[in-house]
Amino acid sequence: MTRSDTNQLIDRAQRGDEEAFTSLVRLYEAQVQAVCLKMVHNTETARDLAQETFVKAFSALASFDRSFTFSTWLYKIARNTCIDHFRRQKLETYSLDAPMRTREGQIERDFPSPINTPERFLILKERGRLIEEAIESLPDKYREVIGLRHKQELPYEEIANILGVPLGTVKARLFRARELLKKRLKSL
């Protein structure tokens, strides 16, 4: 389905055409469930969260910005719905500041933060610079696909649309780009 076909469905759905919105759901349901499943690792929960995503999307359809693709907007809603799901869950937590009980009594814990040291900061900064250099040294077709996937976090389907290549080509280029990056970074 082309972007203009999708936009026509969006226009109809914004005017209250439930059949048009149902068509949008059918069109993107599998991808939205995949986004949710990737985050929650549970098929049933992913289905529920995908359904919740579409309810939120329907409610917010009037605010959809046409400068973005519908799929990008929908996937963002899906990710935020999953994050909301995690926030609603009550996770069993414990204090890192509280002493730990053992058979012999209690012991205090001290956790140094490696991020706060100047050496760690420089190491991380240098690592980032080396990764950027390695990416910049890739051939154009690999550098472009890495940027779209890992910097802009676009789904494969959208990358294929942007580049005008088949989905399999996007996956192959990403695989090859990652392999080239591994080799270049290992040598450093």
Lowest mean pLDDT among 56-65, 74-83, 97-106, 111-120: 111-120
- The answer to pTM > 0.85 is no
Please tell me the distance from the alpha carbon of residue 181 to that of residue 175, in angstroms, as a whole number: 10
The pLDDT tens digits of the residues spanning 107-146 come to 877 766 656 677 777 888 888 899 899 999 999 999 999 9
Q: Which domains does the chain have, with CATH numbers?
A: 3-88 (1.10.1740.10), 129-187 (1.10.10.10)
Q: Rounded mean pLDDT of the chain?
A: 87
pLDDT at 15 over 70: yes
pLDDT at 149 over 80: yes
**Radius of gyration, alpha carbons of the chain:** 22
| List of E strands, 47-181 | 100-102, 105-107
Task: Say yes or no to pLDDT of 13 above 80.
Answer: yes
